[in-house]
Structure 1
């Protein structure tokens, strides 16, 4: 089976690396020739276009930075849809708009191929070790077909329901992550201004009801000073914006979401699109005239768990089957 992977960025490159590391035949495509050359050295084939890749592969995976980029890669004259084979599978692993997923999926299905939205969650450091979580939205029969590939790239795989459901859950979880990051920015800055020891503060939060995955990861790179979580303000703004838009389409009168969108847009305006997302704390550091730092924290997160075989997470009492 030939697997094609389009988009070798911070997350995509790690996922494609897991496929190669586990012995699958992989073909790659990216706008960065240097990235493709790196994968070629590791044994991957290189495609000249998304169409060429799709024509050669049984499974086509896209992991791209925005809905607009994904739509172009799929629908251009030299795009995936122009080359995809009947009975092939398209796995969309980007964080994107579920309505756009379903629109493009209709074109993929018209070519006789299957479509699955399967975004990932857990951070780049876990993508690199094959321990990331994966959501998959599709018919159960399609899920069973792609499960062996998904468990090669990730550890915990959840069938979320029909096409589009995975993307809805992904933007919900990314929204929560972003809210936690803003709350931690306020909490850590407050601790600094109040004169608390920041190492003690970190451990106290970790041991308390205020703990979260975001605290255990992003607080560490905040306190190191690197703020390097391999994720940037423009991507957070995109994700929380997607959540806010989908919520509005459903008529939800949300209160926090519009504020979160505005805060991250303000961070972009102040510090630039490509500033690391944990540096949203700079808005408070600058206002208070402090630098929130601890001692001995890592500059980047490293997944110290050994790579383990992936598996489907079984959901008790689910209502859809």
Structure 2
């Protein structure tokens, strides 16, 4: 298949890199010419615009920063869609929007796959990230060979929209975990605990998590550069809250999580890194929570392997 990839941001560039590294016939496009030039230097082709890319490719993948950006790109591609064409939406987007968009795509005889990723930029870079895929089973089977180049673990979640619902849920959970880790680290620092020892105590205990084993390291090194910004997490938290509101679920923690991250955005900027949220507590407590020996950036040390489908226990 000839594959087009639109959106070479923090995650998109790494996902597209996995396709290029695995020998795919790849055309790329981004509003920033810099990443496009980098991909061309490595053997990809530059796409003129989304419409042309959909016209020429079998599959077009999008990884974009907002539902509005996704809508604009889809509007450009729709006239070129028809039987045999596939659109794979890997952005974190509004579940209701992707359902409506998929219906538009189906109306032209093409396929839409709702397939966001989860696991961090460092795992996207190695092709070891996880992917949720929302679409019918026949469509899933058709794109699974591409998904297993992009990620390690691929979960078919059901119909279009289910993947996006699960993705915003996971980002909510990760953010809530980040905030509790910030409180734990600052409190242990105030109690005089060694921060490296504190990190290890959490890591080997019931309190550990993926967020701790990744983001806590960046907090303690002082780099606080997880490659994910306040504006993006606020978008995702808002989408999760909207799902709860729509289903009339009276969440208690979610509004507080949003409130804290909004304050972080006011203090450190909408493009500030989400891990800087610990600095609110550091400033309030008059402390600095760092320790030697922790990395400034995350490196995925798991060897790259071809991905595979994972199935829920009932489907095993």
TM-score, normalised on structure 2?
0.98
Q: Distance in 1 between matches of 2:216 and 2:299?
A: 14
Residue 3, structure 1, aligned to residue 3, structure 2: yes
Residue 256, structure 1, aligned to residue 253, structure 2: yes
Q: 1:316 aligns with which of 306, 313, 316?
A: 313
Per-residue CA distance 1:174-220 (angstroms, 9 max, x = gap):
10000000000100011111110000000000011000000000000
Q: Equivalent residue of 1:243, what SS?
A: helix
Q: How far did residue 151 of structure 1 move?
A: 0.1
Conserved? CA contact 1:118–1:137, under 8 Å:
yes
Q: Distance in 1 between matches of 2:38 and 2:305?
A: 25
Q: 1:168 aligns with which of 157, 165, 168?
A: 165
Conserved? CA contact 1:58–1:85, under 8 Å:
no
Show the counterpart of 2:241: 244
Q: How far did residue 223 of structure 1 move?
A: 0.0
Q: Equivalent residue of 1:317, what SS?
A: helix
Q: Equivalent residue of 1:26, what SS?
A: strand
Conserved? CA contact 1:228–1:299, under 8 Å:
yes
Matches within 5 A, 1:201-220: 201-220=198-217
Q: Distance in 1 between matches of 2:112 and 2:56?
A: 17
Q: Distance in 1 between matches of 2:84 and 2:292?
A: 54
Q: How far did residue 314 of structure 1 move?
A: 2.0
For structure 1, the 5+ residue unaligned runs are none
Conserved? CA contact 1:54–1:85, under 8 Å:
no
Residue 185, structure 1, aligned to residue 182, structure 2: yes
Q: How far did residue 282 of structure 1 move?
A: 0.8
How big is the alpha-carbon RMSD for the aligned residues of Structure 1 and Structure 2? 1.0
Q: Distance in 1 between matches of 2:128 and 2:303?
A: 8
Show the counterpart of 1:18: 18
Matches within 5 A, 1:247-286: 247-286=244-283
Q: How far did residue 81 of structure 1 move?
A: 1.2
Residue 127, structure 1, aligned to residue 128, structure 2: no
Q: Equivalent residue of 1:4, what SS?
A: strand
Q: Distance in 1 between matches of 2:118 and 2:185?
A: 24
Q: Distance in 2 between matches of 1:63 and 1:84?
A: 18
TM-score, normalised on structure 1?
0.97
Q: 1:226 aligns with which of 223, 226, 233?
A: 223
Q: How far did residue 246 of structure 1 move?
A: 1.2
Q: Equivalent residue of 1:3, what SS?
A: strand
Q: How far did residue 110 of structure 1 move?
A: 1.4
Conserved? CA contact 1:55–1:85, under 8 Å:
no
| Number of aligned positions between the proteins | 316
Q: Distance in 2 between matches of 1:49 and 1:27?
A: 10
Show the counterpart of 2:69: 69
Q: Equivalent residue of 1:196, what SS?
A: coil
